[in-house]
Structure 1
Amino acid sequence: MSDTAAAPRVPKRVAAVILNSLKGGVVPRIGLPYITVGREVEIRALLTDLDLIADGGASFRFLVGRYGAGKSFLLQTIRTHAMGENFVVADADLSPERRLQGGQGQGLATYRELVRNLSTKTRPEGGALGLVLDRWVAACGEGDADAAERARASVEPLEELVHGFDFARMLMRYHRAASEGDDEAKSAVMRWLRGEFRTKTEARGELGVSTIITDDDWYDYVKLLAAFLTRAGYRGLLVLIDELVNLYKIPNAVTRQYNYEKILTMYNDTLQGKARHLGIIMGGTPTSIEDRRRGVFSYEALRSRLTQGRFAREDMRDMLAPIIRLHPLTYEELLVLIEKLAQIHAGYFGYELGVTDEDLASFLQIEFGRVGSDSHLTPREVIRDFIELLDIACQNPDLDITALLRDEGAVGAGAPGTGGAGGAPGPDAPFAEFTI
């Protein structure tokens, strides 16, 4: 194989996560730089947004692509980049139980998921709220009157924002509890910030505050959190919300419209300067965005803001527009990806890599030779098959992979596919979209 010696060494724990996640059909939370292929244009555009957020601005983007287009993968890639640049990242997938607005606490459930998944460079797997608060306490100092005064001065500007007075009050309560070594009070403040108090009476009894985070106002607290993070030494907050299709699937039209109204509020806030140090990226399918009857575009105020202008086209995309549409990966890019996976697999299990470039090409020819591969084949299936092949070869050292692939290719040589020998596409053909 080409460039095997130059392949970066992947730590065993990271390699295990990559291989196990991909074989299970999901995007790994760590190790993405080792397997990222393509998407340079999209990544560059989103990294430009991070600079804006760090400067005190705000941004809002939609990532749009069919199932398999790589939305989840790209979201996780940006997540990794952002944490590496000292941003705090919060992510959540929407579901029937988690929406942006709902009569049974679905919006608050999304907020709780975002805060639960709060991640930083030193805590990339979530649960970083306590770490963020302790970093702020350390920056202010603790145990003396001057420290309390510095903490007070730090949060005072937040009081100008909606619900900022109570938010600042809770932060000061946390600072005092940290100075006094009161872990119970610290825990109570974190419960409040996570939106876990069910009633105002419960919050008043434990913290002396009569306000709690609710389904109607949770987004205000996301803006407060973003504004606070810079005081704790971070550059801003990036919020990633995937699976917008779950809003499209809401059967009740009025409930759908309430959710789209919440998106409009977020969109307007970021573009009008009402939010600071905050970036929001939402992922959805073309149908969930552009369907005029049930999608985001069914809300006229959003459709008029998001519709593509007359000058953009396939070969001239506007990467500064609010909607980034993902194009399929090419055959060559997929070839690079499975080569990376073969190197990671060999490094993890500690064997000499015996798969050749010709074997990789033969494998892809077989995959593309499947019946219906031109419309139904996704990288998820290809990657799963490839890792399975590597697993089998690893467990059977005497297996001749070249012969196995030749035999398998001969069986499927006549199957209808995407054209070419054994159904293989040309090197520049787009591959069915990329999701894992």
Structure 2
Amino acid sequence: MAQDLGHLKVALLDDDPIFRELAAAMLQAGGDFSVEKSQTSDGLIDAIERTQPDCIMLDYDLGDDNGLNVLQRLIDYFPNLPPVIMVTGDGKERTVIKALRLGVSDYLTKRDLDGPELASTVKKCVRKSRQERASELEHNRLAKFAGVDPTTKLANDVAINARLRQLSALTAQARANYAIVSAEIEFYDEIIGKIGLSKSDKIVSVFSDALKLRVRSEDIVGYYGSGKFIIITNVANSISMLDNICAKISEYLSFTVNFDDLTLSFSGKIGACLCDDKAAIGVLLPADLIAPANAALAAIRGTTDKFRVAERPSGQTTSSGAGASPDRGTATTANVSRTTDRRREPRQRVYKKGSIVIEHLNATIDCVVRDMSTGGARLRVAMPFSLPETFRLIIAGAHGARKVALRWQNGTDFGVEYL
């Protein structure tokens, strides 16, 4: 036995006032229907927003416009459009195919239309739509329970909050090895207001794909919704490593996405913070861990900065991205300023080929040695990279590899001290 659908609301768009009245009368005679009648697409959109109909009836021939153009506008404007039935004065196969490809639920011709058929078609489309919607909601519920965001396939807010609770439960010393990176799509709400919610998934997917490519395999990446992302990363309590990770990610957060009717450019910003080793007073909540990263992110909205790393509570360091002021603080555990020359002896300018050897990763990175002294050197690499606190350095013409310690970083330039 078919499920009782209850009272059904229908939004009807047709530029013929006689047919509007006829179709409304047919529906109301064939069941428990109410009909909101419109003669323009703007009127239809207003009716959909006001009444939230169960079904839409859309005339194909609208004089200066046609139903397919209106349907595309509705698809762009409403994320969860109710079933649409296209009605036309002819039954041309080409028109029917175009309508079905755009996603109409059914197609009727005015010439052969009768009341029982119209009422039956509306009920059939509504019933099918509700079944599909119920299946989608169940799928999303299971995905949320499993900790997966259905759009990005990243961890969802439930899973991220669970990870943050695990992080907050660590000892203060262990927690200090981790950092929180908060990323967002700039002007997300304004973008969605202009292009419609139905296109937002593509923007979010493009952004999330870029994050997946730039983070390390051991990092945890999640989507919080509304264009906001969270990354939990182990940086061994090194603000220089965190700064480098942010620089690497932010370098690739500018995009151009092509839709059928427009090309959209957008970008992202990043705020980050170390999970400081100060013991929390009371229970440390996920929001407490994220708050400094969000504050750093909020501080660069409306600026040309791409990222900012929050100061330690002790005031030890501040970092910021491209376009920030030159004063970038003391961004390493060695407490050496990036902007102040604190060398103990002068360095000689050179231009030598070098290799950075990171043994535990079995990795070698080409570099250029720009100046040297008896105690250290300045290196430059081709692109931002997260270097460990210590590694081995090979300089062309020198004998063997020397163990060095990272003392400072500024973009692709690194200062190292021989050990």
TM-score, normalised by the number of residues in structure 1: 0.21
Q: Identify which of structures 1 and 2 has the higher relative contact order when contacts are C-alpha pairs closer than 8 Å and 6+ apart.
A: 1
The structure richer in strand per residue is 2
- What is the TM-score when the length of structure 2 is the normalising length? 0.22
Larger Rg: 2
